[in-house]
Amino acid sequence: METPLPFGWKPLNIDRYDNTADPDEHVDLYVTQVNLYINEDAILCRVFPTSLKGAALAWYTQLLARSIDNFDTLGRRFTTQYATSRPQHVTSAALASLKQGDDEPLRAFMERFASISVKIRNLNPEVALHAMVMALKP
Q: Are residues 69 and 100 in the same domain?
A: no
Residue 58, helix vs strand vs coil: helix
Q: What's the confidence (pLDDT) of residue 38?
A: 87
Distance, in Å, from the CA atom of 51 to the CA atom of 12, rounded to the nearest integer, reads 8
Q: What's the confidence (pLDDT) of residue 134?
A: 93
Question: What's the average model confidence in pLDDT over 58-87?
Answer: 92
Closest C-alpha to 52, from 69, 70, 77, 35: 77
Side chain identity, residue 76: R
Q: Are residues 106 and 75 in the same domain?
A: no
How many domains does one find in the chain? 2
The rounded percent of the chain whose pLDDT value lies above 70 is 100
pTM: 0.65
Q: What is the DSSP letter of 3?
A: S
* Domain extent at residue 75: 23-85
Question: Is 5 among the domain residues?
Answer: no
Q: Are residues 28 and 57 in the same domain?
A: yes
Question: Is 9 among the domain residues?
Answer: no
Side chain identity, residue 4: P
